[in-house]
Structure formats: structure tokens, C-alpha cells
Amino acid sequence: MRDQLSHIDDKGQASMVDVSPKPVMHRRAMAIGFFVAKKETLDAVMDGNLPKGEALAVARIAGIQAAKNCGSLIPLCHPLPLEFAGVDFDRVSDDRLKITGTAAITAKTGIEMEALTAVSVAALTLWDMTKAIDKDLHIEGIELVEKTKTETPSSRS
């Protein structure tokens, strides 16, 4: 089982992965998810016309903040000094808003959890800001869509 699960130690206990022997690489990840609401709700979101204020700005900042704090939120994630975290929104239909979270770092471990956390918290923030006007909200399809790593000059030596 140890060969299959990287967060299980030799005694079968949950543990943080030791990344100290790994090389430093430039790592980037992108995640997406969808916030689904009534057309009128998304109209108000896009217009910045909600009782709680401008939802997209608040959700963008919430997602970035969540990515920066991922190591505190998810117990076995490494705390990482992010070099970039971003959240973007794209209305893809009358009732569907696509959320894209991106994170990048030069480090010994991946950054996908930060991108996924950014999308998740941005979606939850939109939910919080619209729940008073729409009782049929949904969050769907949160997934990792891109994960890359490239060598840095120091990783080649």
C-alpha cells in the first residue's frame, strides 16, 4: 500500500511526504469549476449589483487568499510561498459561470492543491454572496485541468 499512497508512511500512518530529495522545478497548475445559478442571479453577479456587493471581486480575492493558505487548510499539504495565484471568471451560459484558478511556484512539490482550493473557495464565496436571492445554487465540476513542471537552471545540476 505504501507504493500506492504517498501520504502513508512505512507504519501505515498518514504523514506529510518528504520532498527534501526532490529537485526544485517551476510548477504551474490550473483548475476549473462551475458556479450554477438562475440567469437573473448571474446577471446581478456580472453587473456587480448584489445586496452584499460586488461578488466577482470578493470571490477573486477569496480564491487567491485560499490558495495562499492551502497548507493551513489541508492537513498534509506543504505550506508553499506562492509566486502566483489567480482567479478568473467567464460566463459560459445564462446560468453557468466558469471559474479558473491558476497557481505557480518554483519549488520541490506540486501546486495543484492551491489551484483547486482557489476555485473551491471562489465558488463558495459566490454562493455566500448570492444565497439570499437564489435558493437553487450549485457548484459543479471542480477539477484539475493542467499541471506542468519544468526544470530550473538549479535543477539541472
Catalytic (active-site) positions: 128
Read off φ and ψ for residue 128, nearest 5 degrees.
-60, -40
12 in the Ramachandran plot: left (φ > 0), alpha (ψ -120 to 50) or beta? left
Could you please report the per-residue DSSP string of 87-125? Answer: EEEEEEETTEEEEEEEEEEEESS--HHHHHHHHHHHHHH
> Cell 499541471 appears where?
147
Which residues, at least 6 apart from 14, have a Cβ–Cβ distance to it below 8 Å? 7, 8, 76
Ordered DSSP codes for 66-78: HHHTHHHHSTTSP
- Backbone torsions φ then ψ of 117, nearest 5 degrees: -65, -40
